[in-house]
Structure 1
Amino acid sequence: MNDNHDLDSDLQSRLRALPSERLPPADAWQRIAAQLPPRVAALPAAAPAPRARRWSLRIGLGLAAALAVLVVVPTSTPPTPRPSPLQRQADVIAAEYQQAMATLPAAPIGADWQPALHELDTSAVYIRAAIAENPRSGYLLTQLQRTYALRLELTQQAVNAAGLPS
């Protein structure tokens, strides 16, 4: 184990000794440019041959016809997937939480309570998103239930601290 530590410290010291940035020699770009093939000079524009015009006309008409079909044909929206049983349970838990929150007095809560309440609200949003991605995770449902319970308890404490009847 000591040997590995010595090798690691040796490697790190050698890495620290390397220059932080290496610049190519000043004439490097000139040498590279000299090795590239010369560019073709711009040729004067000539009138397209009649055959090329017919071909581009066919392509243009074909694209126009395809666009017309797309505009005329009605498109249907894909069906939305049915929610999983776990997602339905999460909806029930959220509805129960909303009902419990509605029983509390609607009064402003002190600023010192806001960060914790906001953090719990954000957590609930993330957990709901995770349930949508993994609709078979019972653990996530338990976490959602726990988060809503903590949010409700903290809100009740904030209401009590404000001196309002709960």
Structure 2
Amino acid sequence: MNHDDIHDPLAARLRALPRERQPPAAAWQHIATAMAQAQCERPPVPPPARRRRRPFALAAAAAVGALLLGAGWWTHEQAPPAPAPPLAQAPSLQQQADVLAHAYHGALAAIPPERVADEYVPALHELDASAGSIRSAIAQSPEAAFLLDQLRRTYALRLELTRQGLAVTESST
């Protein structure tokens, strides 16, 4: 059965519909009448009033501006400079790594190591050694923020691998 065979009655009905639809002439008449009424009901807008320039107004504005500028300069010269607000110190990379390691060790403490499948243990030790190397690199280069991201990924991989090792052990028992 062809896909077009199923929809032939629908396609025929769609082809029978008119290509364009024009609103009835009465609709256009109604719109034109409503627009004409709206024009008649709106009050005419008066032309903008012309102001007569007053020479003293311009001089008074200049004098006020000069007075404000002078007062601002005088108060600036008289007032002692405000002390700079203390900057909030962001925790150092080493401190962030310590917090991350603490959270990681807390998560690992909830998992008994003897429950992890034996075939996962070498990879887990390798990830622990890698995390130690990253911590050493952070201590040597405390401005290298990418190392903290690498440490996060290593810890996350270690936790995921530990979960997989637990799943293998639990499914075999």
Give the alignment's TM-score, normalised by structure 1: 0.46
Greater C-alpha Rg: 2
In terms of fraction of residues, the more helix-rich structure is: 2
